[in-house]
Amino acid sequence: MAEAVGGRGLLCGTCAPSAVPDRPGPVSRASRRGSLATGLHRTRRAVPPAALVIAVKPGTGSGLLADLLRAHHADAEMFFTHDQPAALRDGTADVALLCADTDDLDGLDTVEVGEERAVALLPAGHRLAGRPAVTTRELAVEEPFTAQCPAVALDEIVDRVALGRLITIVGSSAADRLGRSAVAVPVTDRPATRLVLGRPDGASHAPTAAFVATALALTADRPGTHR
Which homologous superfamily does the CATH classification assign to the domain defined by 116-186? Periplasmic binding protein-like II (3.40.190.10)
- The amino acid at 29: R
pTM above 0.85, yes or no: no
Instruction: Please provide the CATH number assigned to the domain covering 3-115+194-219.
Output: 3.40.190.10
Task: Name the pairing type of β-strands 52-56 and 76-80.
Answer: parallel
Dihedral through CA 151, CA 152, CA 157, CA 159, nearest 10? -150
Query: What is the domain partition of the chain in residue ranges?
Result: 3-115+194-219, 116-186
pLDDT band at 39 (very low <50, low <70, confident <90, very high): very low
Say which DSSP state 3 is in. Answer: E
In angstroms, the first-to-last Cα distance of the chain is: 32
Query: What pLDDT is attached to residue 87?
Result: 95
pLDDT digits (tens, 9 = 90+) for 65-98: 888 988 988 788 989 888 999 999 999 999 999 9
What distance in Å separates the CA atoms of residue 109 and residue 203, rounded to the nearest whole number?
Answer: 9
Domains 3-115+194-219 and 116-186 share a fold: yes
What distance in Å separates the CA atoms of residue 16 and residue 7, rounded to the nearest whole number?
Answer: 26
Neighbours of 100 (CB within 10 A): 17
